[in-house]
Structure 1
């Protein structure tokens, strides 16, 4: 997939006319229907006046190629984190609302549960050994203080996931570090749960989180990996169309002035 063409098809082309005459000539051409300028993202010549002009250093920063693909993947992860954050925050709100009324709910649950026994027997469902019933009873048996702490923990967790999503969506480097640290912190917990009971769901979640940590850390060169921040910045500069064309002009100049 050509990620640059895909982004231009969705968001439109980005053209710019730099002040430098040599660089300007490499981005402009004449056609039977008028002048055309190269898109800074996909490199296609687009008929019409440029969207902007001025010094090359003031040109818009446009992600292209691999950098654009990485940005798309990070934003997909951000959406997933937001979805988890919303669910956890909703759970925190539910626990907070429930904590002051759990005694009444506990009594109602214990009174109404025997009414389900005849139906459960017909379905072959043993209520006394049911994991769902056990989980509900454990929650109902918790004190108000315990439920308040559980609600607070869920609130903090949901807020962290929402913040992580913001950082990834905005393509901030702190968001990438935050995502790697937070996701890595849950891997030991997932390993512990997997040691207690192996399920396909737990295996898939563990593998996904490991893949997310490895992908972000390596592709974004975090913690000094693959040259660290300097190598990451050089990679972005080398992918810039203006940088490529400027390097071409400089290389042609060196060839022209090479001593015979």
Structure 2
């Protein structure tokens, strides 16, 4: 997939007119329909006036190629975090509501459970030894203080997931660190749950989180890996169309000066 063309098709081209004449000439073309400028993202010429102008050093760094692919993956992770955060916040709200009506729900449970006994007998389901019934009774018997702390814990956890999603969606460096640290902290919990009982859902969640941590660590060069922040910024600049054209222009001029340099006498 050409990530640059895909982004331009969705968001439009990005053009810029540098004040440096030599570089400006490499990005501009005259056509029968008027002037055209090269898009800083996909490299194609597009008709019309440039979206911005000024020194080449002030031009925006437009994500293209591999950087665009990485941005798409990070934003998919952000959506995953938001979805998980909403579920956790929904659970916190449910506990808060349950806490306010715990006694009434407990009475209704005790009254309605015997009504299920005939159906359970036909299905061969022992209600008294059912894990689901046992869990419900444990929850119904929980102290108000315990429910309060659980609700607060879920609220904080949900807020952390939503914050992590914002950082990843905005492609912020702090969001990447936040995602790696926060996800790593919960990996031992997920491993413990998997040891307690193996389910496909738990396996998938663990693998997704491990893959996300490794991907962000290596691709974004966090904690000094693969050259750290300096190497990450250099990689971004290397993929910039203006940087590429500037380097090509300098190489051309250097070769031209070398070709016409006077020969030294022996």
TM-score normalised by the shorter chain: which range applies? Answer: over 0.9
Unaligned runs of 5+ in 2: none
**Partner residue, 2:132:** 132
d(CA) in 1 for partners of 2:128, 2:77: 40
d(CA) in 1 for partners of 2:31, 2:121: 81
Residue 114 of structure 1, CA deviation: 0.8
d(CA) in 2 for partners of 1:116, 1:84: 33
d(CA) in 1 for partners of 2:200, 2:85: 23
Superposed CA deviations along residues 143-166 of structure 1, whole A, max 9, x for unmatched, are 000000000000000000000001
Q: Retained in 1: the 8 A contact 2:168–2:175?
A: yes
Over 6 Å off, 4+ runs: none
Residue 97 of structure 1, CA deviation: 1.9
- The total of aligned residue pairs comes to 260
**Partner residue, 2:56:** 56
Please say if 1:235 is aligned against 2:263.
no
Residue 96 of structure 1, CA deviation: 1.3
Residue 47 of structure 1, CA deviation: 1.6
After TM superposition, the score normalised by the length of structure 1 is: 0.96
For 2:63, what is the secondary structure of its paired residue? coil
Please say if 1:111 is aligned against 2:111.
yes
For 1:30, what is the secondary structure of its paired residue? strand
Q: Retained in 1: the 8 A contact 2:17–2:24?
A: yes
For 2:128, what is the secondary structure of its paired residue? helix
**Partner residue, 1:36:** 36
**Partner residue, 1:157:** 157
**Partner residue, 1:88:** 88
Of stretches 3-12 and 30-39 in structure 1, the one that deviates more from structure 2 is 30-39
After TM superposition, the score normalised by the length of structure 2 is: 0.94
Cα RMSD of the aligned pairs, angstroms, is 1.2
Superposed CA deviations along residues 203-235 of structure 1, whole A, max 9, x for unmatched, are 111111110000011000001111100000000
Q: Retained in 2: the 8 A contact 1:164–1:175?
A: yes
